[in-house]
């Protein structure tokens, strides 16, 4: 194990950012991922862990390794960037994880968005297992407004149904705020992210009613039953279901890639992380506002202020607070998770 700062307290282990990244590097390198993939994947996992997003943090290393062992990902894939139209960038991930494909496509996406006011990055043939907010926040730091979404596998029943058909299909949005932290949201169109149900199973906890149904379509609080035999449910009933279908379409067939049901068929029951496509839309306020972009963007601050005056919380504020705390104090991992990760590196 690296000599990066770490501190053990009782059953838990406290790691600073450098130690978290070193741990990711050790696991991924040990399993044969190429250095560019190791760097990109580690950055995404550590960002999630630092922001308190445990379902998308270092816990995901186990899914990454399992997917590799199942033959579900190419560990040394070299993404190919294609310039297909004035406002479109396509990146063929060649069966690798999406983080590197995103990094490879960003420079051209930025150029096209600034030249044309709006641009789309379509990632094809990728495996996805990280949080979308990491990507949209990267674009807001460049002064762009961003939307990202992707299908997954058929984990979720449509509203009114009881069988898995749709993906959990996350969507993320980012809005730049000058020198401050951007306004960002990222959520699954299911009632909860699949990773959160997996964490409940790992901890031996029941899940709340409304998250999923059993194999007979009855409400279930058993995470294993929901994950392995039943189906997850959409948030907001028909509204979440409709959004999930929209994402299936625009980040699937529209960009020449898979629906969630097709991704499940591709997996053949191996239990790998989803193989599919991803769509990222970047918009440049300097082009779209029609002049005086700073003045127009500042008008958004009135809205944010009025939201907070009512005592409401802006999306992502909790993440930024967690980020600051963890930068100062480190991140605490459970001893069980830490030991499982160490085992992956040995």
CA angle, 346 then 98 then 265, to 5° = 90
What kind and span of H or E run contains 6? strand 6-9
The Cβ of residue 345 has, within 10 Å, a number of other Cβ atoms equal to 17
Per-residue DSSP letters for 256-281?
Answer: T---HHHHHHHHTTS-PPPEEEEEEE
d(CA 217, CA 234): 14
Phi, then psi, of 311 in degrees rounded to 5 = 85, 10
d(CA 11, CA 336): 8
Task: Check: CB of residue 98 under 8 Å from CB of residue 105.
Answer: no
Q: Closest by alpha carbon to 40, among 120, 130, 123?
A: 130
d(CA 213, CA 226): 6
Beta-strand runs (E) in 128-236:
145-149, 171-177, 180-187, 212-213, 231-232
Q: Closest by alpha carbon to 264, among 256, 250, 252, 254?
A: 252
CA gyration radius, the chain:
20
What kind and span of H or E run contains 19? helix 17-30
Task: Check: CB of residue 222 under 8 Å from CB of residue 214.
Answer: yes
Phi, then psi, of 227 in degrees rounded to 5 = -70, -40
What the block records as the tokens of 113 is 């968005």
Catalytic residues: 55-56, 196
């Amino acid at each position: 194990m690296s000599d990066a700062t770490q501190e053990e307290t009782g059953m838990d282990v406290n790691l600073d950012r450098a130690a978290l990244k070193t741990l990711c590097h050790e696991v991924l390198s040990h399993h044969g991922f190429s250095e560019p993939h190791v760097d990109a994947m580690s950055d995404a996992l550590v960002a999630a862990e630092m922001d308190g997003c445990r379902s998308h943090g270092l816990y995901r290393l186990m899914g990454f390794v399992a997917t590799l062992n199942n033959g579900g990902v190419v560990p040394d894939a070299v993404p190919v960037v294609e310039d297909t139209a004035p406002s479109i960038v396509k990146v063929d991930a060649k069966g690798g994880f999406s983080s590197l494909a995103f990094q490879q496509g960003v420079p051209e996406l930025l150029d096209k968005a600034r030249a044309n006011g709006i641009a789309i990055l379509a990632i094809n043939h990728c495996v996805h297992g990280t949080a979308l907010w990491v990507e949209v926040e990267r674009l807001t730091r460049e002064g762009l407004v961003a939307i990202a979404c992707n299908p997954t596998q058929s984990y979720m029943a449509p509203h009114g149904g009881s069988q898995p058909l749709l993906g959990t299909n996350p969507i993320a949005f980012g809005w730049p705020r000058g020198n401050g932290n951007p306004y960002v949201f990222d959520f699954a169109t299911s009632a909860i992210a699949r990773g959160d149900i997996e964490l409940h199973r790992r901890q031996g906890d029941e899940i709340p009613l409304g998250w999923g149904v059993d194999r007979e379509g009855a409400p279930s609080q058993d995470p294993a039953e929901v994950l392995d035999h039943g189906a997850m449910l959409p948030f907001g009933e028909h509204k979440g279901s409709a959004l999930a279908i929209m994402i299936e379409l625009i980040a699937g067939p529209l960009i020449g890639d898979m629906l969630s049901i097709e991704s499940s068929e591709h997996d053949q029951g191996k239990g790998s992380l989803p193989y599919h496509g991803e769509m990222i839309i970047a918009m440049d306020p300097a082009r779209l506002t029609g002049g005086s972009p700073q003045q127009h963007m500042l008008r958004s601050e009135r809205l944010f202020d009025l939201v907070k005056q009512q005592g409401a919380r802006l999306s992502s504020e909790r993440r930024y607070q967690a980020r600051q705390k963890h930068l100062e104090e480190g991140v605490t991992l459970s001893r069980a998770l830490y030991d499982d990760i160490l085992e992956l590196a040995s």
